[in-house]
Structure 1
Amino acid sequence: MQQENMKTLESLEDFRHFSEKELEIRFDQLKKQIVPADKTIREQAEKHWEHVAKPLGSLGVLEEDIVRAAAAQGEEVPDFSKRALLIFCADNGVVEEGVSQTGQEVTAAVVSNMTRGRSCSCLMAVKAETDVFPIDMGIACEVEHRGELYPLTERKIRRGTSNFTKAAAMTRQEVLTAILTGIDAVRVLKEQGYRLSAVGEMGIGNTTTSSAVASVLLQKDPELVTGAGAGLDSAGLKRKTEVIRRGIGLHHPDPMDGMEVLQKVGGFDLAAMAGAFLGGAIYHVPVVIDGVIAAAAAAAAGRIAPAATDYMLAAHVSAEPASIWLLDLIGVTPAIQAGLRLGEGTGALALFPLLDMALSIYRDMDTFAEMEIEEYKPLV
């Protein structure tokens, strides 16, 4: 694990030095590499489940997750032996509107805790045998610790996005920089032997940005998709909903243009997560969706490149109201329903042990033929 080997993302390309034209060219080149997951492998994996000596479909969503992972990796037996959690960290200018209980200093404090292995996600990652890679995409305040157990990779675009009630959250150049950083993070991990990844985030105000993105992509009123986040009271939730409505009304992002939605009402963390989902499709690495924030990013990635959804797995349905609608939009089914709403990739980490268990049955269980008993037949 990372504690022993101190793995980093040192070879992550720094797109902050690219011109907007160079970013556009690179993104177009990479996007062309996104194709649907391997249909033949998918069919083989589905057939294999039918022969495993157990009741048909009895592992539910986990069977579909194994099939999706196999098709994504292009191997009938997927490999989960080395997995990573990418945590994209950034602040959001919209917190000026009073949409959060806490200030931006909390983002820096939690990220500092991550580098010491003391955040919720890092503690869970130890149990899930997962390496953690926090990336600074736009933290506003200084981070006290920047190394130790989980070194912080610095790719800060600027100290937080713009307040989307006054201006677009990002420029076109900034959203491209964030997306390409997410894509390249998956490339680096793949080169280091990681075959399964998850994404998480840390940034005060990002339930507001993700609710805004969800509202546009789902074409639903902000009141329907906006939750209390880290604990707003009813007045705070009403204010948050109105802020989102104002931002969307100011910019009118095209719901069919995922990049435009991210640019106008999203955040650096959401854009980088969307990039990681696109990177999963480019480099054939299944990427696990965490909660509603990650789901909003995944849905935006699906609008940018529809085939990218083939490479996504849903860990859980969040307690936030938009969560299940976003997962339905992407076309994935969550394996866990536990009312989770912590973020940082914690829900995605909770899926990894379940995937290990399902894979052991898929890979190691005797078939009906080997046990010399009659196979189950599908019910009509």
Structure 2
Amino acid sequence: MDRNLQQVNTILNLAKLTELDIKAESHVLEFIPQILDSKKVKLLEVNKETLEYLNSGECLFIKGTEDSHVVICSNSSTFELKEAETSNSLLLMPPLNHGKLIEETESRALRKQEVLGVYHTYYEMRHTKPKLQSLRNALAKYPYKGQDSEISEDIVGLSFTELKDITQASEEEIINRLQEMQATKVRGKWRLLDVGFLFGWVSYLDSILREKQLSLQEVTPCNVKDWMGLYDINDVTEKCISLFMEEDDDNLRWKSAAVSQLFALYLLPELRAFDSKDFFTAWQQSMPVGVTANEEHLNGVALVDYDSTPSLVKYLPEFELPEEINERLDILFRNRTKWTLQSITPYVQPLTDNNLNVAALLTKYARSSTINGVKYYSSKYIT
């Protein structure tokens, strides 16, 4: 039934309030007959920055599969989507006149306000680390092994739109990851550069430098592009330069860690484990001139097991490990019972976010101990 001012004043008295305690305009809530189904229309709580982002005309994108948690993405960030409950009823209504929007008049007035929906749950957005492993897994189905291996004339690979659809991450995060990855566009489609191809590319350039009796520091990017033009297309050459070289005053030098890891990835997969003495010999002998193999370069790619006889180098690349922290640590601690912070960081760093860095994640999910002044991390569940 319709409310009148007398009824409103009665309610004010019950609440121990007077007309002087409220604005001149009072809202009377009216529930519409066909109220919205809360299962079909959901409420989402957003912070000020996200609200401004939406008001500017931008969109949020919900991404998820049957096997993964749902995330929601802006153009630059990824958020975990969590359902929250509230003991109070949340009412969905058109905008209300409140505060300064209500005119200061002496006469009292009632305004009807329709209630479109009643909710006891809503969704929260929590900033989270993007799920980027699916990006590599998808591209791995289309390895690029060089133009001589492209038998079919069909264009294979994935478009950027397809990558966005299958990756639980924002557009900006996907672009940044593609720049870091051993991936590039070939004939307009994204492909993952094969490890064997990359090894051959670096080795071929090294053979040219040896033949010309030059170090990489003595040549420019233009020199490299000219020499490698016969080896493969320019886009691939530019990607290889960015992956394995640093530019300094138009001259180049090898990124030792990146080259060392590439050569380790090339040498190890067939056997999965390698006698450490034989491995370090073969590893160093295969390196380009000017690159020195360092055991620290294996971090995130392989580990050295000094407890076995003989000691072994084991293939353990970070990109093959699960993205769930407990599952990843379980595999790591089964391969090595104690890890230093330096050696475990490449395996844990990809799982960190703005709230938890590597040390904080390990404090939460692992056990620490100090031996001879060195801090180690081990499984929480091993006594």
For this structure pair, what is the TM-score category when the shorter chain's length is used for normalisation?
under 0.3
Q: Which one has the largest radius of gyration?
A: 2
Q: What is the TM-score of this pair, normalised by structure 2? A: 0.23
Q: State the structure with bigger RCO (CA 8 A, min sep 6), 1 or 2.
A: 1
